[in-house]
Homo-oligomer: A and B are copies of this chain.
Amino acid sequence: MRIGELARHTGVSERSLRYYETQGLLAADRTPGGHRDYPEAAVDRVIRIQELYAAGLHSEKIRQLLPCMRDQDGGPSTVATPRLVADLTAERDRIDRMIADLVRSRDTLDEVIQAAEAG
């Protein structure tokens, strides 16, 4: 799969896909001419990466995390080191707080929206 197709399938820009590669998050084979050639599994991986970015993780953490994730191919996965587990636990808690904040904001918006629709 070429980069344009992958971009279309994931909704992630080509620019970002190339950036992910420089960050060591997404490998690609190359055609003889140098064009990137992605496997099918790249679609799921890119979506995961995008989600983790949205969750506020930085490239480095994602890079450490990815090999520990259960692969869609069912391939072998590395086990996280204690240090990484500690980091990820902190991230997990941060995400929990973020979710709680978002729910409160959503409730705030709902309240205003409903007040307007009722008025």
Chain A residues within CB distance 8 Å of chain B: 48, 51-52, 54-55, 57, 65, 68-70, 77, 79-82, 84-85, 88-89, 91-92, 95-96, 98-99, 101-106, 108-113, 115-117, 119
Q: Do A113 and B88 touch (CB < 8 A)?
A: yes
Q: Do A101 and B69 touch (CB < 8 A)?
A: no
Q: Do A113 and B89 touch (CB < 8 A)?
A: yes
Contact status of A69 and B111, CB under 8 A, knowing A101-B54, A106-B92 = yes
Q: How far is the CA of A105 from the CA of B102 in the complex (A)?
A: 15
Q: Do B116 and A68 touch (CB < 8 A)?
A: yes
Contact status of A102 and B55, CB under 8 A, knowing A89-B113, A91-B109, A113-B80 = yes
Listed by A's residue number, 14 A-B pairs whose Cβ atoms lie within 8 Å are A51-B101, A51-B105, A51-B108, A55-B101, A69-B108, A69-B112, A80-B115, A85-B112, A85-B113, A88-B109, A91-B109, A98-B102, A99-B99, A99-B106
